[in-house]
Amino acid sequence: MREIKFCGKRVDNGQWVYGQYFITPLTDENSGLPSETGWFFLTGEKKHCIARDGVSFVIDIKTLGQFTGLHDENGKGIYEGDIFVTRGLCTAVVEWEKEGRFLGFTIGGERKIIYINREPKVEVIGNIHDNPELLEVKDV
């Protein structure tokens, strides 16, 4: 069975954190102002968090990525949003696919997949948030 876990960048320091994802509502308690009634009320806003080892971290939701259950050829976990390179020197972004055990990606607007019946022969070289330059087409 695939382990369900996520990654995301912390909003307080920009570091990556890995663990269980959850959403929690914000209350006016987060405003830092004292409550005159002794009660705090929901503000209608939410925090996106990842919990690890009993500690939760607020993350930037735009950086949230789900673990695919796969590892690259170096044993590194492959997450949605990771950038990988194949042995054929194809560079692509991992996209989440609920329908099967394969890596989905798009090259030149065309949908591609790598079918997986074992760990893929790819290497994670970065991600779309920290290393977008890895996806730039270079003139030869």
Distance (Å, whole) CA 57 – CA 127: 20
Would you state the CATH architecture of domain 68-135?
Roll (2.30)
Give the per-residue pLDDT at 105.
66
CA distance 62 to 41: 26
Domain residue extents for the chain: 6-62, 68-135
* Residue 93 confidence (pLDDT): 73
pLDDT at 45: 74
* β-sheet bridge partners, residue 104: 95, 113
pLDDT at 31: 54
What is the number of other CB atoms lying within 10 angstroms of the CB of residue 82? 25
pLDDT at 104: 66
Low-confidence ranges of the chain (pLDDT < 70): 1-2, 26-44, 88-89, 95-109, 111-119, 137-140
Which pLDDT belongs to residue 14?
96
